[in-house]
Amino acid sequence: MNKAIATREKLLTEGRRLLWSHGYSNVSLREIAHAAGVDVALVSRYFGSKLGLFKATLEGAFDTPDFADENDLVETVLRMFVEAPRGGDTPSVLLLIQTNANDPDVGALVRMAQSDGMQEKLEALLGDSARAALFMSVLLGFGVAEKTLKLKGIADPGSAAFEAQLRHLMTSALSFPSA
């Protein structure tokens, strides 16, 4: 691999890990460069600024597959939750949203990326913004309940009970009548 590409990828990987999990305003460029094992000046060389690096970490983050129908949506999202790596260094898009959507510097950017990449697709499939918002709320809430609060009532990931709990919540959100 080309050294420049390797350096850029290290910065992207560590930027994603730190900025998504700790929040944009809580992480310095020096911390990112140190974690990547490179000089801090290289952030400017490859991304222009901390904001440029953050924007680069968002590329493709909210890409979602096309869903044939509501059942396909539920089954695909269920698979994504069940198969998501746990306990590793790679933060999830849900954590990105939780830690950065209200940030004064990048919050609007995160909300717009989520809207463009996920929300609009959900609204088109589900027929209205209320059902799409409820569905997204289930995903965010379930993610917080499982990973952040570690609620005792949430079944072990990968178990049939975990799948049943998440499927129930998603289908309940989808049962909300269209406007």
Mean pLDDT of 80-101: 86
175: which residues sit within 8 A by CB, 6+ positions away?
Answer: none
CA distance 40 to 49: 10
Q: How distant, in Å, are the alpha carbons of 13, 33, 60, 87, 96 from that of 53?
A: 10, 11, 14, 24, 14
Q: How distant, in Å, are the alpha carbons of 38, 153, 168 from that of 74?
A: 42, 21, 10
pLDDT in tens, 119-167: 999 999 999 999 999 999 999 999 999 988 999 999 998 899 999 999 9
pLDDT of 84: 82
Q: Is the pLDDT of residue 89 over 80?
A: no
pLDDT in tens, 29-77: 999 999 999 999 999 999 999 999 999 999 999 998 999 999 999 999 9
Q: Is the pLDDT of residue 3 over 90?
A: no
User: What one-letter code names the amino acid at 10?
Assistant: K
pLDDT of 1: 65
Q: Is the pLDDT of residue 4 over 80?
A: no
The DSSP secondary structure of 77-89, one letter per residue, reads HHHHHHHS--SSS
Which of 1-10, 43-52, 87-96 reaches the highest mean pLDDT? 43-52
Using left for φ > 0, alpha for ψ between -120 and 50, and beta otherwise, residue 37 falls in: left
Q: Is the pLDDT of residue 179 over 90?
A: no
Question: What topology is assigned to 3-57 in CATH?
Answer: Arc Repressor Mutant, subunit A (1.10.10)
Q: Where are the domains of the chain?
A: 3-57, 70-174
User: What one-letter code names the amino acid at 20?
Assistant: W
Indicate the pLDDT class of residue 2, thresholds 50, 70 and 90. confident
Mean pLDDT of 81-90: 80
pTM of the model as a whole: 0.89
pLDDT of 116: 94
